[in-house]
Amino acid sequence: MITLEANYSKKIGLPGYSSHQFSVTLRTEITDLSKVHDESARLYQELQKAVDTSIQEVGFLPGENNNGNGKHTNGSNSPSNGNGQHTNGKDVWGCSDKQRDLIVKIVDEHKLDKADIEKLAQDRFSKGVKALNKLEASGLIDELLEKHGGKQNGRSRFQKAGGR
């Protein structure tokens, strides 16, 4: 008798430096060693389906008293930019100021079509560029640097923002 144990786990980043993770482990017994490959493939499919179905429910997020996009009003009518600073009517971005500046710099320096960058953000994150949180903005920056950043002496021409 052979015991086969399989685990599938997935962790997803969420706004406000939050994340959630879900994991499922299955154990089965098989008697024929030649069935290990087929049984492990079946277990993987079952585990992936179970985790992917379950992890779609976000559940509690820190700062549940926000306006739904991760930005708190901090007791005033002036929204925060996610760094605890009031924006006083300026454009509100969900990412850090450094990430915003880097995204704008890449778009400007490479004369990229802002509509194309918006579409890229929508395709990747189902939201516009300004609504991206820090983790999502980091992913967008990585992609922009890969496609448009260029390299000099093996290093990127741009410093990555947001602690990356």
The two structure tokens encoding residue 102? 């880097």
Q: Is residue 60 part of a domain?
A: no
117, part of any domain? yes
Per-residue pLDDT 10s for the chain (164 aa) are 889 999 998 888 777 667 788 899 999 999 999 999 999 999 999 999 988 888 877 676 666 444 444 444 344 444 444 444 444 545 688 899 999 999 999 899 998 888 888 888 888 888 889 999 999 999 999 989 988 865 444 444 454 445 44
Q: Is residue 151 part of a domain?
A: yes
What's the whole-model pTM score? 0.41
Residue 101: inside a domain, yes or no? yes
Residue 141 domain-assigned? yes
Establish if 73 belongs to a structural domain: no
Domain assignment of residue 113, given as a range: 97-156
**138 lies in a domain?**
yes
Our count of domains for the chain comes to: 2
| Within-domain flag for 13 | yes
CB 69 within 8 A of CB 94: yes
